[in-house]
Amino acid sequence: MGSPGAKVILGIDPGIARMGFGVVVQQGHQMKAAQYGTLVTAAHRPLEERLVEMFGKVQEVLRKVKPEAVAMEELFFSRNAKTAIAVGQARGVALLACGLEGLPVYEYRPMEVKQAVAGYGNADKGQVQRMVKLLLGLAEIPKPDDTADALAIAITHAQCSGTMLSEAVKKLSRRTGGSATSWK
């Protein structure tokens, strides 16, 4: 998907009803959005069928875009336990698909994404979305929010990967079980 020397990064914003994905191609300090969208499952179907469907859709995206790395938002605890469990299950399906393809997966906390994209860890969703549009040179903010969030996660990895700080965070998180870990 990218030219020689370009890094292809897939960002995923996990969810069972909607899973955002965004492909960012990085060439030096330049980034562009190659492809993005939202994978959707029908709410009326049983959870196990939705998970199977989402797994197939993630596999299809992985095989089509052939990323060299996948960046995903770290699971955070929600007040709604049922929603948190469903998101966790969808996230597990995405991790499984990446693992079967032999792809490294990097996790980032929401605050890390806001800091990397908007320059401020407490930025609101609108600020992050406007920066996604600006950084990738898009005509408009990608919709729905899940898609813009996935692109923001991919941008975060593009800006952080290979830096001394990124490597230090990965080492620390491996020791403490925190975020920004990589699985191969």
| Of 135, 62, 48, residue with least CA distance to 99 | 62
Residue 124: pLDDT above 80? yes
Average pLDDT, the chain: 86
Least confident range from 21-25, 35-39, 73-77, 138-142: namely 73-77
Tell me the one-letter amino acid at 7.
K
Active site residue 145: no
What does the pLDDT read at residue 85? 84
How far apart CA 125 and CA 111 sit, in angstroms, is: 11
Given the residues 74, 107, 112, 146, select the one marked as catalytic: 146
What does the pLDDT read at residue 26? 94
Fill in the DSSP letter of residue 31: E
Architecture of domain 7-178: 2-Layer Sandwich (3.30)
Residue 126: pLDDT above 50? yes
Q: Within 10 A of 113 (CB to CB), how many other CB atoms are there?
A: 26
Q: Tell me the C-alpha to C-alpha distance, in Å, between residue 143 and each of 24, 28, 98, 117.
A: 16, 27, 24, 17
How far apart CA 99 and CA 83 sit, in angstroms, is: 24
Question: What tokens does 132 get?
Answer: 């996604």
* Residue, of 6 and 151, whose pLDDT is higher: 151
Active site residue 149: no
What does the pLDDT read at residue 162? 64
What does the pLDDT read at residue 134? 95
What does the pLDDT read at residue 42? 94
Q: Within 10 A of 42 (CB to CB), how many other CB atoms are there?
A: 9
Given the residues 68, 73, 112, 145, select the one marked as catalytic: 73
Active site residue 124: no
Residue 168: pLDDT above 70? no
